[in-house]
A and B are shown apart, each in its own frame.
Chain A
């Protein structure tokens, strides 16, 4: 059995490694200010009463920084960002 040092495996691109980011609005904490929908109109809109819709959304990589800003700016901190656990190498 060869004990020679193997070269390291090629690096995975960051998106696969890191897993998708998911944005969730806590509907109990949410007070319908609507900043999130203004900052992230691609993913969120408001309903007839000012509350965001939908309350769960997958965030594409290019919108991650916008999602973070929305989470930070929410007056009631109702936005939760979760990153899925990365898949192990080799699936």
Chain B
């Protein structure tokens, strides 16, 4: 792929993207339970964000199906099996494509693979497994399909399109920690629970699984997928974080040692068990092997869920969705709890934990959003901050008070009502609130806002005098926020 001469859509030779259906690549239908983005009348963007679309190679349909013993070490891997009509891959199709799940030395496989979690933190799976194994008790594995981040689609996509790959991975994880129970935790959106229930029923009919699996619905809230919130919900309590230690590896669901893994991590395990760690490590870097499933959207031709090798650049990810449709000033990587990067830095940035950390970014929940130059980054971030403030569990004073204060100040700034004091307060609150919650929610918000103030510094200056002059509003699909509750300390 040739290097671009500039990051602007208009500076490049105009690429014509052929009709995906004609070329053999295809576009999937929106999947069930799609959360509709907030429609902003002021938005000038024509057409809605076509969420749920996916482009990729269709699964092979051989006349005499036989599982490929060692598929090419290329990409896509997880997404190679996705159906073109938007429906979930059935158990029969899944087994035709991949073969049966072999009995593997799961713990050793995980250790050799170097697989890291794909839920955002990137914690090595081996370390989590070791921690659970070190504790006496009856371990529980939790399949975490509750992404939380409204800007991303990839977790819901994997749950709704490749449930059996995810569930295979859950069985592998259960073997690794010697769990006798797997709980599948999926957000309560129309169609999603039924879909997962059908997949589980298919497996039960086939007597497929060693370890029994059950389904539990999660509330559609941002913090509901946080590990300790998950454990508390599955113990019969509310889906809000708890104070740690003890960590959930030690005491999680009903006091039992608990392994929580993101659905993408488990889908990787499902393939790992079939093809081995040598195959797995052929893609990515030694420290961060494998692939990433990303939601790429914004000013791109075909917003979609795509799969790239770990370490692919943001530019390559944007190319995979048809490249930019207009000049882009900044890219948000990591979703709601991610960081803004200036376009130039972003394009060359490798999509890995290490690569992004080196440029002041975070990988987060695998979300890449290209912000058109016509849109105001402060406005976008203010809307996000309002949403995030409303999603606070309301348990910790710094978060419950700090996030609405930050959101309010940023909104004032973005609407031209801020002054130097507003900016000062924003900086002060961002430093003071971070690290003082029971979970990382406040840290995500403060990191996002701090990066916005830095990347959009020029716009901050303009806004102090009124307005930045950028006409576009309402670009990011931020859901209608809950009203944040204020609570001042007892003093």
Of the listed stretches B63-71, B219-227, B261-269, B435-443, name the one at the interface; the rest are far from the partner chain. Answer: B435-443
Query: Knowing A28-B395, A33-B490, A33-B491 touch, does A51 contact B242 (C-beta < 8 A)?
Result: no
Chain B residues lying within 8 Å of A53, measured Cβ to Cβ, are 398, 432, 436
B308 within 8 Å of A by Cβ? no
B405 within 8 Å of A by Cβ? yes
Instruction: Give the CA-CA distance A47 to B442 in the complex, in Å.
Output: 15
Query: Knowing A27-B437, A27-B438, A55-B435 touch, does A49 contact B243 (C-beta < 8 A)?
Result: no
A42 within 8 Å of B by Cβ? no
Among A26, A29, A34, A51, the most chain B Cβ lie within 10 Å of the Cβ of A51
> Is B402 a contact partner of A49 (Cβ separation < 8 A)?
yes
B401 within 8 Å of A by Cβ? yes
> Is A51 a contact partner of B243 (Cβ separation < 8 A)?
no
Interface string of A18-58 (1 = CB under 8 A from B): 00000000111111111000000000001111110111000
Q: List B354-398 residues whose CB lies under 8 Å from chain A.
A: 395-398
Query: Knowing A32-B490, A33-B490 touch, does A49 contact B436 (C-beta < 8 A)?
Result: no
Q: In whole Å, how far is B304's beta carbon from the nearest beta carbon of chain A?
A: 39
Chain B residues lying within 8 Å of A29, measured Cβ to Cβ, are 243
> Is A28 a contact partner of B243 (Cβ separation < 8 A)?
yes
Query: Knowing A30-B397, A32-B397 touch, does A50 contact B436 (C-beta < 8 A)?
Result: no
B103 within 8 Å of A by Cβ? no
> Is A27 a contact partner of B243 (Cβ separation < 8 A)?
yes
> Is B242 a contact partner of A49 (Cβ separation < 8 A)?
no
Minimal Cβ-Cβ distance residue in A for B393: A28
Chain B residues lying within 8 Å of A31, measured Cβ to Cβ, are 397, 489-490
Chain A residues lying within 8 Å of B398, measured Cβ to Cβ, are 27, 47, 49, 51, 53
Instruction: Give the CA-CA distance A75 to B436 in the complex, in Å.
Output: 19
Chain A residues lying within 8 Å of B489, measured Cβ to Cβ, are 31-34, 46, 49-51
> Is A27 a contact partner of B488 (Cβ separation < 8 A)?
no
Minimal Cβ-Cβ distance residue in B for A75: B490
Q: In whole Å, how far is A81's beta carbon from the nearest beta carbon of chain B?
A: 14
Chain A residues lying within 8 Å of B397, measured Cβ to Cβ, are 27, 30-32, 47, 49-51
Chain B residues lying within 8 Å of A75, measured Cβ to Cβ, are 490
Chain A residues lying within 8 Å of B401, measured Cβ to Cβ, are 48-49, 51
Q: List B9-25 residues whose CB lies under 8 Å from chain A.
A: none
> Is A30 a contact partner of B396 (Cβ separation < 8 A)?
yes
Instruction: Give the CA-CA distance A51 to B397 in the complex, in Å.
Output: 6
> Is B491 a contact partner of A28 (Cβ separation < 8 A)?
no
Q: In whole Å, how far is A88's beta carbon from the nearest beta carbon of chain B?
A: 20
Chain A residues lying within 8 Å of B399, measured Cβ to Cβ, are 27
Minimal Cβ-Cβ distance residue in B for A38: B491
Other-chain residue from B242, B405, B432 in contact with A28 (beta carbon distance below 8 A): B242
> Is A50 a contact partner of B242 (Cβ separation < 8 A)?
no
Among A46, A50, A75, the most chain B Cβ lie within 10 Å of the Cβ of A50
Other-chain residue from B241, B435, B436 in contact with A51 (beta carbon distance below 8 A): B436
Chain B residues lying within 8 Å of A33, measured Cβ to Cβ, are 489-491
B429 within 8 Å of A by Cβ? yes
Q: In whole Å, how far is A10's beta carbon from the nearest beta carbon of chain B?
A: 35
> Is B405 a contact partner of A50 (Cβ separation < 8 A)?
no
Other-chain residue from B395, B429, B491 in contact with A27 (beta carbon distance below 8 A): B395
Chain B residues lying within 8 Å of A46, measured Cβ to Cβ, are 489, 491
Instruction: Give the CA-CA distance A49 to B442 in the complex, in Å.
Output: 15
Chain A residues lying within 8 Å of B396, measured Cβ to Cβ, are 27-28, 30, 51
Q: List B458-491 residues whose CB lies under 8 Å from chain A.
A: 488-491
Chain A residues lying within 8 Å of B241, measured Cβ to Cβ, are 28
Instruction: Give the CA-CA distance A46 to B438 in the complex, in Å.
Output: 17
Minimal Cβ-Cβ distance residue in B for A45: B432
Instruction: Give the CA-CA distance A55 to B436 in the complex, in Å.
Output: 6
Chain A residues lying within 8 Å of B433, measured Cβ to Cβ, are 47
Instruction: Give the CA-CA distance A28 to B238 in the complex, in Å.
Output: 14
- Pick 27 A–B contacts, CB within 8 A, sort by A: A26-B438, A27-B243, A27-B395, A27-B397, A27-B436, A28-B241, A28-B242, A28-B243, A28-B395, A29-B243, A30-B396, A31-B489, A32-B488, A32-B490, A33-B490, A33-B491, A34-B490, A47-B397, A47-B432, A47-B433, A47-B436, A48-B401, A49-B489, A51-B489, A53-B398, A53-B432, A55-B436
Binding site for B on A (CB under 8 A): 26-34, 46-51, 53-55, 75
Q: Given A28-B243, A49-B397, output 6 extra A-B contacts at Cβ < 8 Å.
A: A27-B243, A32-B488, A32-B490, A33-B489, A49-B488, A54-B435
